[in-house]
Amino acid sequence: MVPVKKDFVENMFSVKGKVALVTGATGALGSVLSKAYGYAGAKVFMTGRNEKKLQALEEEFKAEGIDCAYAVADPADEEQVDKMVKACVAQYGEVNILAVTHGYNKPQNILEQSVADWQYIMDADCKSVYVVCKYVAQQMVDQGKGGKIVVCTSQRSKRGMAGYTGYCTSKGGADLMVSSMACDLTAKYGINVNSICPTVFRSDLTEWMFDPESAVYQNFLKREPIGRLAEPDDFVGYTLFLSSDASNFITGANCDCSGGYLTC
């Protein structure tokens, strides 16, 4: 007999009824993933530092029937993260999925960038990932039901770039942290930890790169076999997959979703 169950196959991509906590929810990727989790039937707890934007998202999502709530928190502040996780649990009783989508960059040549600015990037993109994952993982362990952690890093974790000594270092550290967390958390506690490594995707900060007549855009396309830059919703499928039972045997992976950028 083939040892596969019909019920598993029919429901393996489902996150319906799960509680998904999303950091950076007011950003281009975080807002899209928050809504995607909601459309997929999850209860969505959004976090970020801008309460006005969080309120607007909550109103928009609830108008579409999405069960959601939010808390204002700086992901690099341990005390605020602790309160954020407790607020999620108070609202929904548990946390089943964590999607880490926040980030920061200030490109500068190493000779021009101050140590303080470099450290800020490291705190925003690496330390904050550690803090958020640590507190959410502890909550998942206490629940005793396992969980899924998905961290958005970057293809820059695998490639250096002029002016990116802070960003590349922080994202590379985050990817290696993901692999190490998997060693800590998966076998013993059933918590899968993976990262997605996207290329440039459209946001308020990157919109200028999307001019098809610009040299920047043309240069990117020389190394993009897929033939275009990314939109935030290009990462919905991968994130939902890593948040569902379909990815139960995947952990510690830094998943390329760069449109082929890393292959050229």
Domain with residue 100: its CATH number is: 3.40.50.720
Is residue 104 included in any domain, yes or no? Answer: yes
User: Residue 232: its pLDDT value, please?
Assistant: 93
Entry field: residues in the chain? 264
- Is the residue at 263 inside a domain? no
Please confirm, yes or no, whether 167 is among the known catalytic residues: yes
Residue 142 lies in a domain: yes
Of 167, 189, 217, 238, the catalytic one is: 167
* Residue 34 included in any domain: yes
Quickly state the pLDDT bin for 29 (edges 50, 70, 90). Answer: very high
* Structural domain total, the chain: 1
- Read off the pLDDT of residues 39-79 as tens digits, 9 standing for 90 and up: 999 999 999 999 999 999 999 999 999 999 999 999 999 99
Q: Tokens representing 129?
A: 């990932």
More confident residue, 112 or 208: 112
Residue 245 pLDDT greater than 80, yes or no: yes
pLDDT of residue 38: 98
Where would I find the H helices in the chain?
A: 6-11, 28-39, 51-63, 78-92, 115-122, 128-143, 165-189, 215-221, 236-243
